[in-house]
Structure 1
Amino acid sequence: MTDALSQTLEPRCQEILRRTAIALKGRGVGVWEADARGRPRLLALSSAEDVAPVAADELEALLREVGELPAAGRPPRRWLASRLEGQRWCIAPVRTEPPQPPPAGVERRGPERLTLELAGVCIGLIERQLSEEPMAQFKAMVDSADDAVIGKTLDGVITSWNPAATRLYGYTAEEVIGKPIALLAPPDHIDELPRILERVRRGERIEHHETTRVRKDGARIEVSLSISPILDAQGRPVGATAIAYDVTARQQAEQQLAHGALHDALTDLPNRAYFVERVSQAQARVRRDPDYRFAVLFIDFDNFKAVNDGLGHAAGDRLLTEIAGRLRTCVRPGDVVARLGGDEFTLLLEEITGLPDAEHAARRIQASLVAPFMIENREIVATASIGVALSDPDYGQPQDLLRDADLAMYQAKEQGRARFQVFDVAMRDSAQARFGMEADLRNALERRELRLVFQPIVELQTGRVYGFEALLRWHRPKRGVILPPEFVPLAEQTGLIIPIGRWALQDACRQVRRWQDAFPTAGPVRASVNLSGKQLAHPGLVDDVRTAFQDAGLPPTCLALEISESVLMESVESSTDVLHQLRELKVELHIDDFGTGHSSLSSLPRFPLHAIKIDRSFVHRMGSRRNDVEIVRSIVELAGNLGLGVIAEGVETVTQRARLIAFGCALGQGYLFSKPLEAKAAAVMLAGPEEPGRRIA
């Protein structure tokens, strides 16, 4: 620079400094210029109110202490900083456009690259500390944060990285700063990055965006991102800060909860809620597309209770798990097999052509159950009753379809089990009638609609009345007299058999006691009362029996309890225990309908019985089938060998009576002697002149 040019520019520089000083007034900032020896030539200072004022001569002395400028090639910023460290004023960087590092000042060099002069900005140390302390605090907060804090440019280049980011992603700051943020995204999530950056460029905040990221070791993690744009003084985005934290464990827990809410805990099959939702979706499709068809199969396993009772609930659960595994093999990829609860399963068949497809699926399920299950080293054969209901646009709710499939399943059970049945409307009508009967039956006791009738049991040789079998009758309003086969199964299914059976015991004992009081010469009149399977399994049965004869004042030996052969064999162990407790009460125990069940001869001695009742079907066929004659003869002989009495049911002809007497059968009942009678009519049979008791044949 020539002296003439310097003289020309000097006034302009002074004016610029003057204006700069005005602009910086009150901000504790100054501008300076020094020659090659550190002597100030131009100076403009201004102090903020919270910074002690500094006179020009103080700064001049400060700069003179610097001494000679550094040799060529030595950065003046570092040199000046080292010479001025700890002074009241220091040389501050002049801001330049990134990415160049800001210098301490502006340096002008000569032809030999010797420093000729310097210019720069000076800031009071107190002011500088006031501006740097919040930044230091902020950095400390970011570094100690539990969440990853990542800075990046608008192009997605990482500019800052805190320790939590290292813990989350596995990369150190040195490994990622200057790298694209795409480094953290798995291939299947790369496409979302441009959309996120575009939103940041528009100045949008992104909060709690959950996505997938990948760690340095390749592990995928789920993170929640909150991204905020960094704005300049004019409010324009110049970068972004992302805060991220790991939500993998939370998402896994949520997924497990969601899975558990829609799946059965034991078998991991879909549960009722899931199944109903899928049926609802299928119904909606039927309404949109008349050609679309589906079917619902309702599956219930026969005699599953016997497994639970005989082997325990753990074995039952194991069986259900293995059943679920076989059912899975019977369905196509688009079908749904679910467990509703207990031993009830359902199957949704979609995209079928019609009923044959559903029937084929039912047969496939039954075929899958042919092979026995090995549970606790025992072979268990499981059979299933299946109900089938086809889709129909008229179905209102998914539960309607399930209801009809359930009705068809019960129809299959009633027809013999181990089979399937397709729903028809008549089943629904029958179910509605059953529902009405159940409602009426619940009120029958209170309304005194239930009554007992009594059929005489007689000595076959003498015709003397030995006792009476008490039989239930329901006088249902507007329906007439209802016989036990029509309502007792319903009473058992609903649990109403317990209060009804308790009443029958009490009423029979009271009636027999009244007869004994009225006809003391008639001998010890006895009553036989039937017990159902539900009653036998009821824990209060023994107390109910004891209360019945004690309250009536009836000797327990005058009360006989009849249990069918099939009921006894449903649970031999528990039945035996209860029968022994009843035997201790000194009541008699009879096995009813003998010959129709599945008991083995070896099991009979285990039961503490007093008598066997031969089923009426064998007695009826004695006149036409030689085999039945031999069966009756064998039963009588078996009972005699076991020390048991024999009562023949359904004796209707003189020939039948004669044969039974010839076989050694002592007691019988049937229309040959009397039909079931009301209590008053039965009393007539006890009032005759013969003693002890009335001879009726």
Structure 2
Amino acid sequence: MPAYRVESYVRRLCLVLIAVFLLALSGWALPARAVEAISVPATADAVDLTHSVERYENHGNAIQVSTAPGADGIVRRIEVTSRDGQNTDWIVFALSNPSDEQIDRLLVAPFYRLVGSGILWPDLGSSRIASLSPSQGIIPERINSPDADVYQITLDPGAVVTFVAELHTSKVPQLYLWQPEAYKDSVNAYTLYKGIVLGISGLLALFLTIIVVIKGTIMFPATAALAWTVLGYLCIDFGFWNRVFGLSAGGEQLYRAGGEVLLAASLIVFLYGYLNLNRWHIHYSHVAITALVLLLGLFSIAIWDPAIAAGIARLSLAVIGLLGFGVVLVLAFQGYDRAIMLIPTWFLLLVWLVGAALAANAALANDLVQPAIDGGMVLVVLLIGFTVMQHAFAGAALLQGSIGDVERRALALTGSGDMMWDWDVDRDHIHTAGELEILLSLKPGTLEGPAREWLDVIHPSDRDRFRATLDAIIDQRRGRIAQVFRLRSEDGHFRWFLLRARPLLGSDGEVVRCVGTLHDVTEQKTFEERLLHDAVIDNLTGLPNRQIFLDRFNAAMARYKVDGTVRPTAIVLDIDGFKQVNTNQSISVGDSILLTMARRLARQIKPQDALCRLAGDQFGIVLLSEQQPDRIAAFGEALRRTVRAPFTFGEHEIYLTGSIGLAIGDGANTSASEVVHDAEIAMYQAKMLGGDRMEAYRPTLKTVTGDRVVLENDLKSAIANEELRILYQPIIRLADRTIAGFEALVRWQHPKQGWLGPHDFIPLAEESGLINDLGLYVLERAARQLSYWQQQGQDNYRLFTSVNVSSRQLLRHDLINDVKAVMSRSALTPGTLKLEITESLVMENPEYSARVLERLRSFGAGLSLDDFGTGYSSLSYLQRFPFDTIKVDQSFVRNDHKNHNGGARPVILRSIVTLAHDLGMDVVAEGAETESDALELLQLGCEYAQGFLYGQPMPAEDASKMLSNQLARMQN
């Protein structure tokens, strides 16, 4: 190629690069490309220009554009400068008039549209067009409008005009070119629609407010609040507040954001009030209050940035709608009628929320969408109002505030479940409305008639009293009937009823009617009879207890003092080493031995004698059939041989012996209790001599047993002077090996005998009646120490302490009062002061125990079932008792050579843990001695373990140090 051509190409290339560089530096001043003109039909009511304009964002304070080609095909340039001289946004569009007549049109840009406004950081409305400049012709005239930027545009025949619009914001949600008359008709029609919607909404809000005045239950104010909130929001959306307060085009953003926040808050209030959520669970109240506080906090955000507050409110509406529908469905499945009635309305609310979301995201962009959303909102509130009114009328809620005394008493009778009893004295006709006949399975009309016909179904023992009561009411013409009697059912069984009635006098002062109620008290009477039975009869053996023993011996002594023929003898028999049987074998084995022993001893006595169970392994006999000393001694030896007979359990035999003491009533001025006490002294003497023997009382034995009396007095003094020590053995949480709690154990440092364990003085306390004072002593100090630990650190607020409860404590009502007093004086976390009750103790009287345990649980005490797995019938009763913890007996935990069921032990232990978890209980395993024991318990799912592996019983000071060290390790 010649050199001059190369030079020419290089020169041209440099000129091109220089030109590009200069264009880049001054690109802001270049005119924009020519726009395509939009033909404006003369007959069209409106032309949508929204998507036909060219947008220039942050273009600067001036813009140069090329106009659309005119009729002569020439493209011209125009330059428009911003009014305030600041960087701004622009839109450019061109219109052409193909007709031969002048066209007048209105360019309309609404301030706010829900369609396309968005959900996060929504566009809440503003003035859109600051100015409008044409390339030729008449300058557009701005027309005042509260809802939109409106400019009147005039197009000459055959003209092509390019318009440059300076914007206030970068968004123009809608830009329409309207015929003036069509726009006027559209505005008038929409104004009429707004008035109708506002009228319906206002009447609905006013009506619901009037209902609030009539009946102020919470669901009516909540519904009225929702209606007023919707009315206020519609006033904002329809521009009503703009006209009232004279807001600027963008001043309604704060109002609109606040309206959407209140709309979400009012939905929560309505849902909480209508469904009465506070009756279902306290967590509903917590969630509702938290949500309201957070939503109302959006007002402060709205002052700073309304768009952010509105976006959060719109998301909250969606969340409230979905979660609210879930709550409605859950309560509906539980049979709650209010929730069932709300399902259709709330479903329509979800449909409305979906439509509003689609419109906000521009998925629905029709001009009718926004009016439909506004109308749909009113429709939803209207349906909610109908639902509330339907419930109100169906349940007579509106009339409850104005009912009279007669109606109120009738409602009270219905609510109490009592049956009406009306005796028309003049006609001698009793009316019970058939309820009593249904309960007794009698034929209809059996109990409708004269009072004498009732005598056939009343228990024979109650007939005379029933007849006498009615006669007395008629004769005396005053008083009240409060009588309990029995009625026979169709199957022959009797049920107890309480009749409460009063006479009504006529004008002549005579009784004309007797009206009252019948209440079925069969369960109460059965429970009372069971309590009376358990008060005198041992639940395990069915034998009379110590109180009956003393009563029968006292009666025998009284007869002997009168006739002097039959002298009673008191015999007390105690099984030697019986507690070792419970410890080494199991409590179920011990119970079986006691049952067998009771049957064996019963075969030894004659009809005139009496056999009783005095204590755990102690029996008493009132002997009347033998009078001669040698015959009495022979009877005692027969009893001793009976006890020595082996007890067979499978392949094993258990040999026991008995210590027997006897005392003969001498007819002097000696009480029955003193004679029985003498027999007990003789029995203790037999035990001191090695057991398996019989001793008769003699006065010299009182000095031998004096030590026991001294020990009893010392124990009483130790309790009064607070000399007993409370030690705490750690209970470890196996998951992280941290201290979960302690078991409180009592020890006594006797001034002469040194340290005494519970087995040295607890039986003495039970026999002497000091066990209640001792139990209260331990309970108070354990609660006080636990309260101190819980207050020392936040991590200790769930720390618990277990306290053992003896049989004497549980069977006395004093335990309920003691626990209630201790819980009221101690600031303890509910459920952390656990009462440990042995399995056999509960089963001695399951009906009574269930009631006592329920009362204890209501005071905030935790309940732990001790020695679980060793009883004989606990599995069938376990679900009836409100225990929260099961304590597995150490015989199922220790894996040593003494355990003959080594292969079955893990299976049984796993079953116990699974059963406890299925019943919602925690498991504490006793006797964890090695790391392998702890690992096995953890693998089986056991939560807690207790044993010498984690620490011996220790004073409170040492336990506090362990907690402090644990807290320090956790913080590091």
**TM-score, structure 1 length as denominator?**
0.46
Bigger radius of gyration, 1 or 2? 1
Q: Which has the higher contact order (CA 8 A, sep 6+)?
A: 1
**Greater helix share, structure number:** 2
